Amino acid sequence: MFREAGNSFLHGKSPNNCTGGRVTVSAVPSATSLADQLAVSGPLARTVLHARHAVTRVLTGLDDRLLAVVGPCSIHDADAALAYALRLRGMAEELADDLLVVMRAYVEKPRSALGWPGLATDPGLDGTFRLGDGLALARKIMLDITTLGLPLACEWLNPALAEYFADLVTWGAIGARTVESQVHRQLASGLPMPVGMKNTTTGSVGPAIDAVRVAAAGHGYAGTGRDGTLTLLRTSGNPHCHVVLRGGIAGPNHTAPKVAEALSALRAAGLAERVVVDASHGNSGKDHERQRLVAGEIADQVAAGAWGIRGVLLESFLRPGRQDPDLGSPLVFGQSVTDPCLGWETTVEALWQLAEATRARRESLAANATGHLDVVGSAST
């Protein structure tokens, strides 16, 4: 109805040119074709499924470890990402009794203003928007990191791109700018992994709680199929969505009183009392040095027995801070080009502190349970 052979009203080639020709169209590989080129083997698929199951057990309290989603604010360099992944794998193995470590592999970046949109869309960091190359590179990086045995996390920003990566992702996030979006809530309802719903940029937790409730229900909506065509998608609902406290304009919300408020609001909504706490973004004021202090404050709550805190998010890379992409000079290897990150040494300190806090919580909960049983036993004799 709206398209003639070879012409599109969207990109201005209609007979009357009603749209002004503001859009040009370039074809990219479909999700199906890219998945065929960069396929997930049987063993890798089992790795992803096992990791999703493990994260779900942590979030539901069947596993008393702490989820730690750690890694660069965004991936811009394949070599640096793999170098980081190799180090993180060692830490993940060393702390596996207490932490379930998942690496951030964020290849899309939301923007409140102008800025680099991420590796998937602009892999050259130069505004050339080689989307086909970016999608292939992003998938290749995810495959390589998964091959190391590290589970992956990412933010779901453009729903049309979810089919390109969903088979490789263990934990997903809906960001502060999109958590109120109907289509993102619908997307989350069909994703095959746990999804964290961040509070809004203002700091409001209510929309994130609403998003958890909406995503738990089934939906029918128009979306993009793996072959790139418009499709009616029907979902059954995602029971493993949860709130992520990331702070906001109103201030941080990682403190014990703010965590308690969020848990109380979840209880009032009839939802599971569990949150993941982001040590970066609004909770640190995007100050990587402050992020380390926030991580310590979260660890203190966990050590004191805060069972409602099921996970923590850290932005971390090989080198601390951030840099601006400069086409006239080489980038510093292993340093963020978006938000400032913890350096590696500080990351190790933070992970060890979180692991020790998890052990302390485990011991505290065990002691309380034993004490309760002793009281019950004494009362019955």
User: What was the pLDDT predicted at 325?
Assistant: 85
Distances (CA, A) of 142 to 136, 147, 166, 167: 10, 8, 11, 10
Q: Are 252 and 176 contained in the same domain?
A: yes
Number of domains forming the structure of the chain: 2
Q: Are 98 and 236 contained in the same domain?
A: yes
Question: Is it the case that residue 292 has pLDDT exceeding 60?
Answer: yes
103, containing H or E segment: strand 99-104
C-alpha–C-alpha distance, residues 200 and 169, integer Å: 23
Q: Are 18 and 81 contained in the same domain?
A: no
- If phi over 0 gives left and psi between -120 and 50 gives alpha, with beta otherwise, what is residue 20? left
Largest pairwise CA distance in the chain? 91
Q: Are 11 and 62 contained in the same domain?
A: no
Q: Are 14 and 145 contained in the same domain?
A: no
Q: Which residue has the tokens 């203003």?
A: 113
Confidence of residue 375 (pLDDT cuts 50, 70, 90): very low
| Whether 221 contacts 214, CB under 8 Å | no
SS3 197: strand
Q: Are 25 and 42 contained in the same domain?
A: no
User: What was the pLDDT predicted at 379?
Assistant: 41
Count of CB atoms within 10 A of residue 180's CB?
17
Q: Are 132 and 179 contained in the same domain?
A: yes
DSSP string, 37-81: HTPPPHHHHHHHHHHHHHHHHHHHTSS-SEEEEEE-SS---HHHH
Distances (CA, A) of 93 to 86, 96, 278: 11, 5, 22
pLDDT tens-digit readout, 73-92: 999 999 999 999 999 999 99
Backbone angles phi, psi at 358, to 5 degrees: -65, -40
Question: Is it the case that residue 326 has pLDDT exceeding 90?
Answer: no
C-alpha–C-alpha distance, residues 173 and 317, integer Å: 19
Question: Is it the case that residue 21 has pLDDT exceeding 90?
Answer: no
Confidence of residue 372 (pLDDT cuts 50, 70, 90): very low
Q: What percent of the chain has pLDDT over 70?
A: 91
Q: Are 250 and 351 contained in the same domain?
A: yes
Confidence of residue 255 (pLDDT cuts 50, 70, 90): very high
Q: Average model confidence (pLDDT) for the chain?
A: 92
- If phi over 0 gives left and psi between -120 and 50 gives alpha, with beta otherwise, what is residue 247? left
C-alpha–C-alpha distance, residues 48 and 330, integer Å: 35
User: What was the pLDDT predicted at 6?
Assistant: 44
pTM for this entry: 0.92
DSSP string, 312-340: EEEEB-SSSBB----TTSPPPTT-BSSS-
Q: What token pair was written down for 96? A: 């596996």
Q: Are 152 and 55 contained in the same domain?
A: yes
Q: Are 24 and 42 contained in the same domain?
A: no
Beta 219-224 vs 230-235: how paired, if at all?
Answer: antiparallel
Distances (CA, A) of 44 to 100, 150, 170, 197, 272: 18, 10, 12, 27, 31
Assign residue 281 the CATH number of its domain: 3.20.20.70
| Whether 128 contacts 122, CB under 8 Å | yes
Range of the domain at 320: 38-380
The rounded Cα 328 to chain-centroid distance in angstroms is 32
Q: Are 263 and 128 contained in the same domain?
A: yes
SS3 256: helix
| Whether 282 contacts 252, CB under 8 Å | yes
Q: Are 256 and 323 contained in the same domain?
A: yes
DSSP string, 341-370: BB-HHHHHHHHHHHHHHHHHHHHHHHHHHH
pLDDT tens-digit readout, 166-215: 999 999 999 999 999 999 999 999 999 999 999 999 999 999 999 999 99
Read off the DSSP letter of residue 15. T
Which among 194, 117, 124, 114 is positioned nearest to 153, based on CA atoms?
A: 194
**Higher confidence at residue 374 or residue 268?**
268
Q: What token pair was written down for 325? A: 């992409």
Count of CB atoms within 10 A of residue 142's CB?
25
C-alpha–C-alpha distance, residues 102 and 289, integer Å: 22
